[in-house]
Structure 1
C-alpha cells in the first residue's frame, strides 16, 4: 500500500482568560490534514488555525437564520450537505423575501485550496467571502451591526466567542474567522477515486470507470486539474449568452474585455449530487453537459482556446466515451463528506 503523507497543523494547547469578559478561552486545536493526492493549501492556516470552539461557533453561524433580515435564510439554507452543500434542483436559489438570485449555488468543499471565490472571483480570501452573500439584498440581506447586537444578547454566542477567541470579542472579524474555520474543515477527500489514487482499500474502479478516467485526463483535465478537479482559473466555456440574466462573469470584477463571459472552473468533486450545472444552472444532467462540450460550444472573442482547436469547436466525444466519462465522474462522490455529522446542522 502506498504510504500516505500528511501535513499536520497542530496549535499548542493554550489556556487563557479574557480581561474583558471573564471568558473561558480554551484553544483546543483541530488537526487539519492535506491528503497525499492533494496540492498544498492556499489558505494561511497559521493565521486562523481551526479549534474545537472556533469550528463549533462557525457551524452555528453557518446554520443560523437570524443573521439574515428575515430571520430564516442562513448559509445552510442554500448550501445543503447531502447535495455537496449546493441547492440541488434549484436553478437559482431563493433569498430573503423570496428573492431569486442569478447564479446557481456553488458547492462548499476544499475551500482552503482556493485563492478566489464566487463564479466571478469577487472575493479573494476565504475570510472575506461570506460578506458577499451575507450583505447581498437578494440573499441574506444581513447587517453586521444587527447581527453583532443579536449575538451579544445571546448567551450561547457569548460563551462560544469567549471560548473560541483569546480576546473573547463578539465582532465581525471573529465572526468571519469562525465561519472560515468551519468552511476550511468542510473537506472532501475520501471518494472511491481518492482511494484509488492513494491505493487504499475500497479504491477499485471498473473497466468503464478506468476508461472514463483516461478520456478525462486527455480531454478534460486541462481545466479540471489535479485531484481537486479544478485549476481555479476563469474561462469562457462556450455557453450561449443568457440574454435574460446578462451575466458578464469575471468582467464584472476586472472590467477587462478579455474577461467577458469567463466564470470560475468548478470542481467536479461530488458532481453527481450537484445538478443543475453551469453558473446559471441551464443543464439538468451530466449527459447534457457533455453534449454541450461535444456539439454545443458557441464561438466568441473570449472563448477558451482549448475549445477552438484548428477551427473545430468543442471536445469530440462519442456516445460510449460520454458514458465512460460519466461513470468516472460518479467515482468522485464522497459519501463520508456528504454524511459527516460534524458538518450537519443537527
Structure 2
C-alpha cells in the first residue's frame, strides 16, 4: 500500500537519528540492538505509534535472535528463511521469517511421505491416491520391492528413474551436484535436479535426490519421472469421486486463537521434538513470553492498519484508548527486552 508523506519522511531520518542524536540514543556506543530499542522507545514517547510498531516488526526479530532468546545456528534453516524472505512482496529479513513463520510454513508446505500402510496388491485393487502414496514410499525409502504393484505408467517411469539413478550413483557418488550449470548428462536425473532447486550454498549429493523428490507435489514427481498422471488415474480402481464439499465461510480466528496455534508450534520446536528446531538460552517459558509479547505487538499493528480512517467518533475515541494501551505495552516490552 502507498506510504504517507509522514512515513516516508520518517524512514529518511531514521539513519540520522541512529547516527547523530545522542539525546535519543542512550547506548550510542553499545550494541546495535540496544540503539534500536532506544529509537523505538523514543518513537513511543513522541506518540509516533505507527512508526514504533513498524520498527518493532522490522527490528525485534533480529534482536530476539541476537540476544539468543530465540535463535538458530543451522545454516540450512537460515538459508530457507532468507529465501522465503527474499521471495515475499515485503522483502523480509531472515530473522523476521524465522520468528514470524518458521515451522508453521515448513510444516504446512512440506509434503510428508505417507505413514499409513499402503494396501497389499496391485493397482487394480487400489485407488489413485493409494498408488501415489506407494510411489512416495518407494522413492523416500529407496526400496523397490513393490514397484511391480504400480500402474503401468507409474511403473515405467519409476523403473526408468531408478535405472538413471543407479547409473549416476557410481559415477557421482562423492560429487557435489549443486554447482551452477552442472549436468550429469542423464536427462531424467538432470530434470529431477532442476525441479529440486539445489541451493548454491549447501552441498547436494546424489543420495538426497530420492528423499527430496518424495516430498514434492504429485505434479513435480510426475514431471521428474516422465509420468502421465491421467493415465495412472484411469488405470486405478476405486477412483475417488470429485469432491462436492459445500463452500462454507471459514471461521475467523481470534488473535488469541491464532496465538495458541503459533505458541504450540514454538513450544514443539523449542522442546527439540521433530526435525524443526529452535534454540534459546532462556527457559522455554521465558522465551515463549518474549515471543508472545512480540506477536501481540504485530497483531496490534495489523489491527490499526486495517482500521477505517473515517470511523465514527465513538470508534475513534475507542481507538485512542487502544493506542494508549499499545504504547504502554510496547514501552514495557522494550524495557524487558533491554534487560534480557
Which one has a larger percent helix, Structure 1 or Structure 2?
2
Which one has a larger percent strand, Structure 1 or Structure 2?
1
Normalization by structure 1: what TM-score? 0.24
Normalization by structure 2: what TM-score? 0.24
